[in-house]
C-alpha cells in the first residue's frame, strides 16, 4: 500500500507475466507445482528433468517446453542451456530444484527407514538406542552423487544462467534448500551437507550479482508429501506429530513461496531463505 492507501501489488495471475523460467527437476513434485503456479502467473516455463519423456510430458500438460539433462553433469548442463537459447534468448527466473533423497533405487531403503523409526521410538521410550551406521557405511559414490546433484547441479545451472542474466542486467534465482540445511538429522549427513552448502552458496552469490539487478534466494521446505518422501511413510505419523501444524506440507505450499520470491513483490529480498515448514523449525 502507498501512503494514500493505494495498492501497488500486481494482480494475482499476472505476477510473472512475460517472464521466462527454467525449473530443474520439474517433471513432478515441488518443481512441477512451482511450474504450474508460474504458468498460472503468466510465465513461460521450461521444464528440466533427468529424462526427456517425463520432462516433455509435464511441459505438454502445463504448456511449456521440456529439456533433459542430469544437472550434476557440467557438460550436459551447458548443452541444455544451448538448447534453451534456441527456444528463448532470455532467462528471467532459474529455480534449482532437482534433488534426490539418496533412497532412490536402494533395495535396502525400506529397512533403513524402519531402522530410523525404531531408533526414534527407542529414544522416545528412554531405551538404549541402536547405533546409526549410515555415515560409516556411506560409499564414496553415494556421497559424491548427493553433493553432485544438489551442490554441483546448483552451481552448474547458476553459472550458465548468469551468462544470460548478467548481460541482460536482471534475473532471479531460487535455490532449493531444506530445513535439513540447518537442522541436522542423523541418517542424512550427505543430504544435510548438500543443503547447507546450497544455503551458503545462495548468500554468497546474492552478494556477487546484486549490482546486476539479479536476486538470489533459497527456499527451505519442511516435510512435504511428494514421491521423494513417500518411502518415509512409516515416519509420517512422527513427522506430523513434531510439526505444530500437525501435517506434512503439500507441494503448493512451496510453489507459493517460489511465486513470491520470483515476483516483484519480493523486490527487496536477496540472500534470504524462506522456510514454509508448518512451524516444525522456527527461526528469526
Ligand atoms: N519433499 C520434501 O519434503 C522436501 C523437503 C525439503 C527440500 N526438498 C527438496 O525439494 C526438491 C524437490 O523435491 P521433491 O520432493 O519434489 O522430489 P521428487 O523426487 O518428487 O522430484 C525430484 C525431481 O528431480 C528430478 N531429478 C533428480 N535428479 C536429477 C538430476 N540429476 N538432474 C535433473 N533432474 C533430477 C527427479 O527425476 C524428479 O523429477 C529437492 O531438491 C528436494 O531435496 C524436498
User: Domains along the chain?
Assistant: 20-274 (3.40.50.720)
Q: What is the pTM of this model?
A: 0.95
CB of 96 closer than 6 angstroms to any ligand 1 atom: no
> In whole angstroms, what is the distance from residue 268 CA to residue 36 CA?
25
Among candidate residues 81, 191, 223, 280, the one labeled active-site is 191
Would you tell me how many other CB atoms lie within 10 Å of the CB of residue 104? 11
Give the DSSP H/E element, type plus range, for residue 214. strand 214-219
Whole-number mean pLDDT of the chain?
A: 94
CB of 23 closer than 6 angstroms to any ligand 1 atom: no
> In whole angstroms, what is the distance from residue 83 CA to residue 23 CA?
14
127-180 residue pLDDT tens: 999 999 999 999 999 999 999 999 999 999 999 999 999 999 999 999 999 999
> In whole angstroms, what is the distance from residue 33 CA to residue 40 CA?
11
Pocket residue to mutate for ligand 1, from 228, 255, 276, most atoms within 8 A of Cβ: 228
Q: Taking residues 190-218, report their average pLDDT.
A: 98
CB of 97 closer than 6 angstroms to any ligand 1 atom: yes
**C-alpha neighbours within 13 Å on the C-beta side of residue 245:** 15
In angstroms and rounded to an integer, the radius of gyration of the C-alpha atoms of the chain is: 19
Return the pLDDT at 11.
60
CB of 152 closer than 6 angstroms to any ligand 1 atom: no
Nearest CA to ligand 1 atom 40: 99
Give the DSSP H/E element, type plus range, for residue 37. helix 29-40
221-268 residue pLDDT tens: 999 999 999 999 999 999 999 999 999 999 999 999 999 999 999 999
Residue 191 among the catalytic residues: yes
Q: Taking residues 49-71, report their average pLDDT.
A: 98
CA–centroid distance, 3 to ligand 1, in Å, is: 43
CA–centroid distance, 97 to ligand 1, in Å, is: 6
Amino acid at each position: 500500500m502507498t501512503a494514500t492507501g493505494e495498492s501497488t501489488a500486481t494482480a494475482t495471475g499476472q505476477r510473472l507475466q512475460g517472464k521466462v523460467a527454467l525449473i530443474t527437476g520439474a517433471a513432478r513434485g515441488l518443481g512441477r507445482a512451482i511450474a504450474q503456479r508460474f504458468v498460472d502467473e503468466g510465465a513461460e516455463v521450461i521444464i528440466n528433468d533427468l529424462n526427456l519423456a517425463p520432462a516433455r510430458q509435464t511441459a505438454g500438460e502445463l504448456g511449456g517446453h521440456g529439456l533433459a539433462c542430469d544437472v550434476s553433469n557440467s557438460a550436459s548442463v551447458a548443452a541444455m542451456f544451448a538448447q534453451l537459447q534456441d527456444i528463448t534468448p532470455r532467462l528471467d527466473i532459474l529455480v534449482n530444484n532437482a534433488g534426490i533423497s539418496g533412497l532412490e533405487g536402494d533395495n535396502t531403503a525400506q529397512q533403513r527407514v524402519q531402522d530410523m523409526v525404531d531408533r526414534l521410538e527407542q529414544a522416545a521410550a528412554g531405551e538404549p538406542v541402536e547405533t546409526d551406521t549410515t555415515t560409516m557405511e556411506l560409499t564414496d559414490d553415494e556421497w559424491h552423487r548427493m553433493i553432485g546433484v544438489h551442490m554441483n547441479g546448483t552451481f552448474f545451472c547458476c553459472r550458465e544462467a548468469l551468462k544470460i542474466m548478467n548481460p541482460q542486467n536482471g534475473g532471479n534465482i531460487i535455490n532449493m534448500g531444506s530445513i535439513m540445511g540447518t537442522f541436522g538429522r542423523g541418517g542424512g549427513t550427505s543430504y544435510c551437507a548438500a543443503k547447507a552448502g546450497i544455503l551458503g552458496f545462495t548468500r554468497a552469490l546474492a552478494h556477487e550479482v546484486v549490482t546486476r539487478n539479479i536476486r538470489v534466494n533459497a527456499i527451505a521446505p519442511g516435510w512435504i508429501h511428494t514421491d521423494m518422501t513417500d518411502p518415509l511413510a512409516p515416519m509420517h505419523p512422527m513427522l506430523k506429530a513434531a510439526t505444530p501444524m500437525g501435517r506434512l506440507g503439500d507441494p503448493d505450499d512451496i510453489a507459493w513461496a517460489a511465486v513470491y520470491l520470483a515476483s516483484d513483490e519480493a523486490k527487496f529480498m536477496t540472500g534470504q531463505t524462506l522456510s514454509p515448514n508448518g512451524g516444525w523449525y522456527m527461526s528469526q
